[in-house]
Chains A and B, each alone.
Chain A
């Protein structure tokens, strides 16, 4: 019974934890501009993250080593350090976006300017990272994030023309008035939103924090293979809500308030209250994940003690890195740079950094020295190889497309 509960909780956490500020903004933005014509990019991203999160979870369970531990080992100190710098930059950018997201969500709930919420959010994040148990931190944020299911309810209440939505999704093409470069630019943003590298840093490090062993591989797989696709469905619901309510009114999404409007239209105040709760929980949870991931990646590269399973003073430099990153992230938002813009850039740079994370995972998951009999099977390798190629293409195309389309304008 306890085991069933554990698995169920893990799945719920994975669903609620899947969506972050990047998914919220990217899906709503794309839904309002392209309808569901880019649903395939989200689906592709979800398959990719399932595939590689499973591998990283399995590696962590079998070897006790988290992702960045292995990056240096397989790429060497030089390339590993370059990788660390790039990954840290992207994760830090995402961290800033999440902190901004918390503040924006609280602004919607209070109409107090979001900049005033930034220090509050920063302090709350630090207190949680400093004092709250890892499993509590992970599960509470994830389960509260489930409030975003309200987007699914809203979609159903909006009585959309389902056949038209399905039609858009299955015969993808760029709508009239939108060029192909813009179309693919946003495809990459959605792909990057689903596959953000911090998710595997966090997932694999979390496995080590919770002291997974080979026995826990089944649990980890359930979380990934059930939780993430349901989280992806949530992303699609957000996109569809925007497609149904915002697209006909020619509204383009550039604020979090616009993301929630379809829920208000469909369900009124109570529904919107759930949506705001979901925004706060999803961004707060993701801020914790990205903040910890900054510390995880640095500490794992240098071999320092890391993690919340020891007292903070026993992982001093890890805690220091997290704290410094938190200050930098909050400081970035306080420069009054638009958090939604930061989010959009974080998605594109995530896409650029994807191969740095996913290549070493694929290699280690095949290393009999580490994995013994638990190496990848044929299917995982076939899909892994295909995705590696897709990731490489997305990574190379991201910056040129961003410049060519002036970041999607």
Chain B
């Protein structure tokens, strides 16, 4: 029987997509009660609306509120990756989708489209 300590072995770990690209961190973990009343892990929560409350303090509250307002649609539910997508947990967490399919991080796409993608040569690997 394998046990996994969520705080030590899951939280804040790097998430990798099916191509090995870096997606995000495990900012928080969502649990739901099963039919037997025992909670089980249902999703990886991502982004400032997940990490803000963990950060705590004024900065954490401010970050959460800002992300809440900027989100489309506004709300407090952070982007999530269903735990069924997870294929392995080692020094990182592997999932079986691509970054684009997961779409948990809209800001990265925004910076890509509006800033970095506009500079010449951004499509060539170093």
B126 touches which of A131, A303, A304, A370 (Cβ 8 Å): A131
Say how far A282's CB is from chain B's closest CB, in angstroms: 22
Measured between C-beta atoms, what is the minimum distance from B14 to chain A in Å? 6
| A130 engages B108 (CB within 8 Å) | no
Q: Which residues of A contact B21 (CB under 8 A)?
A: 305, 310, 314
Measured CB to CB, the closest approach of chain B to A79, in angstroms, equals 10
Considering the complex, give the chain A residue whose CB is closest to the CB of B22: A305
B9 to A, closest residue via Cβ: A369
Of residues 80 to 126 in B, which have CB atoms within 8 Å of A's CB atoms?
A: 90-92, 99, 105, 107-109, 111-112, 115-117, 119, 121-126
- In the complex, which residues of chain B have a beta carbon less than 8 angstroms from the beta carbon of A304? 22, 24, 105, 108
Contact with A along B28-59 (1 / 0, CB 8 A): 00000000000000000000000100111101
Decide if B116 touches A320 in the complex (CB within 8 Å).
yes
User: Taking the complex as formed, is B67 at the interface, i.e. its CB lies under 8 A from any CB of chain A?
Assistant: no
B residues in contact with A77, CB < 8 Å: 12, 27, 51, 54-55
For chain A residues 281-328, which have a beta carbon within 8 Å of chain B? Answer: 299, 302-306, 308-314, 316-317, 319-320
- Are A65 and B14 in contact, CB atoms less than 8 angstroms apart? yes
CA distance A303 to B11 in the complex (A): 12
Q: Are B23 and A311 in contact (CB under 8 A)?
A: no
Asked if A221 is an interface residue, CB under 8 A from chain B, the answer is no
Is the CB–CB distance between B24 and A303 below 8 Å?
yes
Per-residue interface assignment for chain A, residues 68 to 84, with 1 indicating a CB less than 8 Å from any chain B CB and 0 otherwise: 01001100111011000
CB of B119 within 8 A of CB of A130, answer: yes
Q: Which residues of A from 45 to 81 have beta carbons under 8 Å from B?
A: 63-65, 69, 72-73, 76-78, 80-81
- Contact present for A313 and B117 (CB under 8 Å): yes
Given A303-B24, A303-B25, check contact A73 B13 (CB 8 Å): yes
Residue of B nearest to A303 (CB): B25
Interface of A, secondary structure class, is helix
Contact partner, A311, options B12, B56, B122, Cβ 8 Å: B122
Chain A residues near B51: list those with CB within 8 A. 77
A73 in complex: contacting residue of B12, B27, B123, B126, CB < 8 Å: B12
Judged by a CB distance under 8 angstroms, whether A269 is at the interface is no
Taking CB as reference atom, which chain B residue is nearest A310?
B125
Q: What B residues does A64 contact at CB under 8 A?
A: 91-92
Closest A residue to B20 by beta carbon equals A64
Determine whether A134 belongs to the interface, using a CB cutoff of 8 Å to chain B: yes
Q: Which residues of the other chain, A, contact B59 by a CB distance below 8 angstroms?
A: 81
A133 within 8 A of B: yes
Beta-carbon contact of B92 and A317 below 8 Å: no
Residue of B nearest to A133 (CB): B126
User: Known contacts A81-B55, A303-B23, A369-B9: does B122 contact A312 (CB below 8 Å)?
Assistant: yes
Residue ID in chain B nearest A209 by CB atoms: B126
Residues of B within 8 A of A81 (CB): 55, 59
B91 CB, min distance to chain A CBs, angstroms: 4
> Given the known A-B contacts A131-B121, A316-B117, A319-B116, are A76 and B12 also in contact in the complex, defined by CB atoms under 8 Å?
yes
CB-defined contacts of B90 to chain A, threshold 8 Å: 63
Residue pair B108, A316 in contact (C-beta under 8 Å):
yes
Closest-CB distance, B111 to chain A (whole angstroms): 4
Whether the pair B23, A320 counts as a contact (CB closer than 8 A) is no
Q: Which residues of A contact B125 (CB under 8 A)?
A: 308-311
- The answer on a CB contact under 8 Å between B22 and A370 is no
List residues 72-123 of chain A with CB under 8 A from any CB of chain B: 72-73, 76-78, 80-81
**Listed residue (B54, B111, B121) with the most chain A CB atoms within 10 angstroms of its CB:** B111
A320, B107: Cα distance in complex, Å: 12
Instruction: Give the CA-CA distance A313 to B125 in the complex, in Å.
Output: 9
The answer to whether residues A69 and B14 also contact, given A305-B22, A369-B9 and a CB cut-off of 8 A, is yes
Cα(A172)–Cα(B103), bound, Å: 60
- Counting from the closest, the 7 A-B pairs by CB-CB distance are A303-B25, A63-B91, A316-B112, A308-B126, A316-B116, A313-B122, A316-B111
Report 14 cross-chain contacts, Cβ distance below 8 Å, ordered by A residue. Answer: A63-B91, A65-B91, A72-B25, A77-B54, A78-B57, A81-B59, A130-B119, A305-B23, A311-B125, A312-B119, A312-B121, A312-B123, A314-B21, A319-B116
Given contacts A137-B126, A303-B15, 14 further A-B contacts (CB under 8 A): A63-B91, A77-B27, A78-B54, A81-B59, A130-B119, A303-B24, A304-B105, A305-B21, A311-B124, A312-B123, A313-B122, A316-B117, A317-B111, A320-B111
